[in-house]
Amino acid sequence: MVGLLTVHLYLPGCASLKEKRGRLKPLLARLHRQFNVSVAEMSMQDKWQESVICCGMVGNNTAFLQSALETVGKWAEANWPDGDLLDTKIEIW
């Protein structure tokens, strides 16, 4: 089974794509390192103050994937000071 967490982020005050990348890169690296998920920016690459990132995880149990991805989303909301989480969505196939 494959689980996907999609997170819509708002980054107030970003004045360039370079600044946006500078804020997102530590978040992506930390999520990968701490939760062992694959992470990438998937949408809104050309917008300065918004981004959509996806975290992917593979497992053999739907309940485990759901719980693990909820934990990732809650952690990001509580521990990322550079912006706001506007929306999260979990899909499992």
pLDDT on residue 32: 97
Please give the structure tokens belonging to residue 17.
Answer: 């794509």
Q: DSSP letter at 82? A: T
Place domain 2-92 in its CATH homologous superfamily: TT1725-like (3.30.70.1120)
pLDDT per residue as tens digits for the range 8-66: 999 998 999 999 999 999 999 999 999 999 999 999 999 999 999 999 999 999 999 99
DSSP helix/strand/coil, 4 = strand
* Entry pTM: 0.93
pLDDT on residue 47: 95
pLDDT on residue 82: 87
Please give the structure tokens belonging to residue 62.
Answer: 């739907």
